[in-house]
Amino acid sequence: MYTVATLAILVTMALALARAVLGPTVFDRILAVNTIATKTTILIALLGFLTGRPDFLDIALAYALINFIGSIAILKFFKYRDFSRSGWLEPDAPHPHRMPNWMPPEVIEILDNNPDPEKHREGGK
């Protein structure tokens, strides 16, 4: 039973490896590498269970934390092309960098013209 689970994890890792090699986009490759790392975490935990060594779970959790931090770092690099930027700019920066992209242009215009929402509710006094 556990051998089947181990083989299933290895097969999914092989499929993710094929996706990481073939692409077609950078984000497909990043997602595939993240999937491989997640499956590796599960495999380490499963091997710890099979061998009766609960300390493998600690190793799996540490590996998962490193995987999470690495994924965030890689995605941040592809978004900003720089690891040093925090993503937050000064308050007087142009609005596309400090406002979420999902905000309607009317809301962005209101916030740019009148940054204090209390004054906007009072009619701009």
The CB density around residue 16, as the number of other CB atoms within 10 Å, is: 19
- pLDDT over threshold 90, residue 103: no
Give the confidence band of 33 by pLDDT, cuts at 50, 70, 90: very high
Residue 112 pLDDT exceeds 50: yes
The string of DSSP codes covering 57-73 is: HHHHHHHHHHHHHHHHH
pLDDT confidence of residue 95: 47
Tokens representing residue 29 in the block: 């490759």
Handedness of CA 24, 27, 33, 39 (dihedral sign): negative
Mean pLDDT of the chain: 79
Q: What is the DSSP letter of 91?
A: T
pLDDT surpassing 60 at residue 59: yes
Alpha-carbon gap, residue 61 to 66, rounded angstroms: 9
